[in-house]
Amino acid sequence: MSSSELCMVVFLGINTWTDIRKREICLPVFLLFLAGGILWRIKAGTVYPEGILSLGIGVVAAIASVLSRGKVGMGDGLMIFAMGSVLNAGELIEILCLSFLLCGIYAGLQLGLLKKKRNTEIPFVPFLLVGYLGGILT
* pLDDT at res. 1: 77
pLDDT at 27: 96
Number of other residues whose CB lies within 10 A of the CB of residue 76: 23
Measured at the alpha carbon of residue 122, what is the angle toward residues 121 and 123, in degrees to the nearest 5? Answer: 120
Q: What is the pTM of this model?
A: 0.93
Q: Which of 5, 28, 23 is nearest to 126 (CA)?
A: 23
pLDDT in tens, the chain (138 residues): 788 899 999 999 999 999 999 999 999 999 999 999 999 999 999 998 999 999 999 999 999 999 988 888 999 999 999 999 999 999 999 999 999 999 999 999 999 998 888 888 899 999 999 999 998 887
Q: Quick one: pLDDT at residue 108?
A: 93
pLDDT score for 138: 74
Decide: 132 and 9 in contact? Cβ < 8 Å: yes
pLDDT value of position 40: 93
* Domain around 69: 3-137
Decide if 27 contacts 40 (C-beta within 8 A): no
Query: How many domains does the structure of the chain reveal?
Result: 1
Local structure of residue 24 (DSSP, 8 states): S
pLDDT at position 115 is 82
- What is the pLDDT at residue 95? 96
